A = this chain, B = another copy of it.
Amino acid sequence: MPEALLMYAASTQDANLLYRTRFQVGDPVFYMEIGGRTLLLLNDLELNRGATEARVDEVLSLSAAEKELKDEGFTKHTIADVVARILEKRGVDRAIVPASFPIQMADMLRGKGVPLTYRKDPFFPERTVKTEEEIGHIRESIRHTEDAFARAWAAFQETEIRGNELWYRGAPLTAEAVKRIIDGHLYENDLLATHTIVACGEQGTDPHCRGTGPLRANESIIVDVFPRSMKTGYVADMTRTWVKGKASPELKKIDAAVKQAFDAAIRTIRPGIDSTEVHNAVKKTFDDLGFKTEKRDGKPVGFFHGTGHGIGLDVHEMPPMGARGAKLEPGMVITVEPGLYYPGVGAVRVEDDVVVTRDGCRNLCSYQKNLEIA
Contact = CB atoms under 8 A, between A and B. Distances in A.
A209 interface: yes
Given A26-B195, A194-B230, A230-B194, A300 B101 contact: no
Number of chain A interface residues as a range: 35 or more
Number of copies: 2
- Pairs of residues from A and B, 6 with the lowest C-beta to C-beta distance, nearest first: A99-B104, A101-B103, A103-B106, A100-B102, A45-B208, A103-B118
A26 B104 CA distance: 23
Contacts of A209: 48-49
Contact of A101 (B27, B102, B120): B102
Given A27-B316, A101-B104, A107-B118, 15 more contacts: A26-B315, A44-B304, A45-B207, A45-B208, A45-B305, A48-B209, A49-B206, A97-B103, A99-B103, A102-B102, A103-B103, A103-B118, A104-B118, A192-B194, A194-B230
A13 interface: yes
A120 B104 contact: yes
Interface of A: 12-13, 24, 26-27, 44-46, 48-49, 97, 99-107, 116, 118, 120, 183-184, 187-188, 192, 194-195, 206-209, 230, 299-300, 304-305, 315-316
A194 B12 CA distance: 10
Contacts of A101: 102-104
Contacts of A26: 195, 315
A110 B38 CA distance: 31
A98 to B, nearest CB: 8
A84 B120 CA distance: 20
A77 to B, nearest CB: 15
Contacts of A27: 316
29 contacts: A12-B194, A12-B195, A13-B13, A44-B304, A45-B207, A46-B208, A48-B206, A48-B209, A49-B206, A49-B208, A49-B209, A97-B103, A99-B102, A99-B104, A100-B102, A100-B103, A100-B104, A102-B102, A103-B106, A103-B116, A103-B118, A104-B118, A104-B120, A106-B106, A107-B118, A183-B187, A184-B187, A187-B187, A192-B194
